[in-house]
Amino acid sequence: MAKVTKRKASVTVEPVGDRYEELRQMLDDRRRELVREVQGKIRDVRAEGSEKPHEVLDPGETSEADIQEDIEFALIQMKAETLNKINEALARLDEGRYGHCFECGDEISEQRLRALPFAVRCKDCEEARENAALRERTLAQRRGSSLFFDMRG
């Protein structure tokens, strides 16, 4: 009898829903875009390959065409790998594990995920990590130079 009010309550109680939908939409868009690009590229390469199958090219032209083809394939491979990552991200999203910081477990901001869909750390943890790496490099350099001075006596 109080069905309507109950339903309303359950909708407002779920603040995670919006974020999930937004992230899913974002990943889906990227996936569609990549699929289209990969398929388009594969079509291009095939079309070029079958266009003039019997034409004799001089060695220079042949190798240039080969290089171009290699680049095209490398691009396709890169995009295919990105596509795999997006599929993984979508699977993680469904399990509720996507968009959370690997270090502190906090939600990674949507803005950050839009810029870096495969980010595994929040901005703070990433910066802390970068600073730590930088400190380590600086320390290593200092150790290196002090060693150098020690050796000179």
* CB neighbour burial string for 81-118, b if at least 16 within 10 angstroms, e if fewer: ebbeebeebbeebeeeebbbbeeeeeebeeebbeeebe
| Closer Cβ to Zn ion, 78 or 132, answer by number | 132
Q: For Zn ion, which stretch binds (CB under 5 A), given 27-35, 102-110, 111-119, 141-149?
A: 102-110
C-alpha distances (whole Å) from 59 to each of 46, 56, 64, 65, 73 are: 21, 9, 9, 10, 21
| Closer Cβ to Zn ion, 76 or 125, answer by number | 125
Name the nearest CA neighbour of 117 among 139, 92, 134: 92
Tokens of 22: 């937004």
| Closer Cβ to Zn ion, 53 or 105, answer by number | 105
> Considering only residues 42, 101, 120, 128, which one is a binding residue for Zn ion as defined by CB under 5 A?
101
Report the distance separating Cα 123 and Cα 108, nearest Å.
Answer: 7
Q: Does 74 bind Zn ion (CB under 5 A)?
A: no
Q: Taking CB under 5 A as the rule, which mask of x and - marks residues 111-130 in contact with Zn ion?
A: -----------x--x-----
CB of 25 to Zn ion, least distance (A): 24
> Considering only residues 22, 37, 103, 107, which one is a binding residue for Zn ion as defined by CB under 5 A?
103
Report the distance separating Cα 102 and Cα 92, nearest Å.
Answer: 13
CB of 92 to Zn ion, least distance (A): 16
Binding site residues, Zn ion, CB under 5 A = 101, 103-104, 106, 122, 125
